[in-house]
Amino acid sequence: MRKKSDTEWLRGQLETVASLGKRVGTIRHETSHEYGPHTALKLAALNHCLEVFLQVARKHVDHYHDFDSAIYVDLFAGCGATRVPQTGDWLAGSPVLAVGGRLPFDKMICIEKDARNAEALEARLSLFQGREWKVLRGDCNEIARGLKASVHSKNPLVFVFVDPVVTGRLQFEAVSLLVIQTNIQVLDS
């Protein structure tokens, strides 16, 4: 099989972000984030990281049994969809990329402070049958302190995505507690 060129690879990542975005953009379309076209590149990079992480994690969970589950945690989950005002295109948000991937997480925990965004995210994630997810409403700094209780796993491999809209909303103590409590990989955009 011929190796994809960089352009073909990027096009594939962007098509995933856009197709999942189009799918969830029809749900609660009045609730979305609006960012510029550069956001598509960030989401394409995240999608690639999720794919690579899950390929490795599924082997270690399902075959080697080094871990008992693969868990996704999004500290600033948002509403799950971004609209690009310049083009009108819909892009999948980070939790939608995580739930809509080819390989599954055993559990997803999405933290969102804004009630309207949390409701829209729940409606969007409900499109993905057979995937286990939970939206926790509140400040991630407070929720992170007791997150281990929500995981219900003795030895999880955890992917934490940290993308605060407003700089300074994340306290370092919250992330350090997650690191201490679990086997995590932190991706900070």
Q: Tokens in use for 156?
A: 């999880």
Digit-coded pLDDT (tens) for 111-143: 999 999 999 999 999 999 999 999 999 998 888
Contact 118, 135 (CB under 8 A): yes
| Per-residue CA distances from 87 to 10, 53, 82, 99 (Å) | 19, 31, 12, 25
Is the pLDDT reported for residue 165 higher than 80? no
Residues 38-72: pLDDT tens digits?
999 999 999 999 999 999 999 999 999 999 999 99
Which of the 8 DSSP states describes residue 59? I
What are the φ/ψ torsions at residue 19 (nearest 5 degrees)?
Answer: -70, -40
Q: What's the confidence (pLDDT) of residue 179?
A: 63
Neighbours of 187 (CB within 10 A): 16
pLDDT value for 188: 53
